[in-house]
Chain A
Amino acid sequence: KAGVTQTPRYLIKTRGQQVTLSCSPISGHRSVSWYQQTPGQGLQFLFEYFSETQRNKGNFPGRFSGRQFSNSRSEMNVSTLELGDSALYLCASSLTSRGGNWYGYTFGSGTRLTVV
């Protein structure tokens, strides 16, 4: 089955611009999470969406936002880009059983954002 698809793979933007990243989860996965990965901080949690609702949010400024559509596809947006926003942005989808068991994340390959 198809994995988690993130587009675009690479992006170069200028300071002050905004950017939208897209994520298509594995079919049947209703939870989509976003992480930022940098060499200095590692993976940091941005937010998680389930059935079009944001369930969890990390400690990032309001410039970082996201949404989820009825087909579980998700987008994240970063406005007023700063040099420090350069990072690998990873999307992960996950599945929950009826009993509430969680089977872990399946990550996409990420979008490499460079802000110049």
Chain B
Amino acid sequence: TQLLEQSPQFLSIQEGENLTVYCNSSSVFSSLQWYRQEPGEGPVLLVTVVTGGEVKKLKRLTFQFGDARKDSSLHITAAQPGDTGLYLCAGSENSGGSNYKLTFGKGTLLTVNP
């Protein structure tokens, strides 16, 4: 069974600060996704990274996939209260095809205080 460990588990920061969330595994994933979940709602897909070493930017969010495709990071610049939520990383065991089973990390609960 492939496991994904996220750190930190909880993070509380002030508006305007920068932060990095990590997602690590001993297994290789064909792709990795990041989701954000707000209370009472389902997770919302932020990004998918597929190639080792890949970097993707989404406004103030920067996502990186490790060269060996075993780890990933999410960096937020100048965090805002609207960034508050549970950030989940999820690894896919297959690249497309017929297997859509994802392994999720337990998440990082981010609180950005005004």
Contacts and interface: CB of A to CB of B under 8 A. Distances in A.
Interface of A: 4, 31, 33, 35, 41-45, 48, 50, 55-56, 58, 90, 92, 94, 96-97, 99-110
A44 B105 CA distance: 10
Contacts, number: 66
Contacts of B98: 50, 55
Interface string B64-103: 0000000000000000000000001010100111111111
A56 B100 contact: yes
Nearest to B101: A56
Interface of B: 31, 33, 35, 40-45, 48, 88, 90, 92, 95-107
Contacts of A45: 101-103
Contacts of A104: 33, 45, 48
Per DSSP, chain A at the interface is strand
Given A4-B42, A92-B42, A104-B48, A42 B107 contact: yes
Contacts of B90: 43
Instruction: From B41, B102, B107, name the one whose CB has the most chain A CB atoms within 10 angstroms.
Output: B102
Contact of A42 (B45, B48, B100, B106): B106
Query: When A and B form their complex, which 9 residue pairs have the shortest distance between CB atoms, in order from nearest?
Result: A107-B42, A42-B106, A100-B96, A43-B104, A104-B45, A102-B96, A56-B101, A101-B96, A107-B43
Nearest to B6: A42
A106 B48 CA distance: 13
Contacts of B107: 42
Contacts of A100: 96-97
A110 B35 CA distance: 15
B101 A48 contact: yes
Contacts of A99: 96
A48 B44 contact: no
Contact of B100 (A48, A107, A110): A48
A26 to B, nearest CB: 13
A100 B95 CA distance: 8
A110 B99 contact: no
Contacts of A58: 101
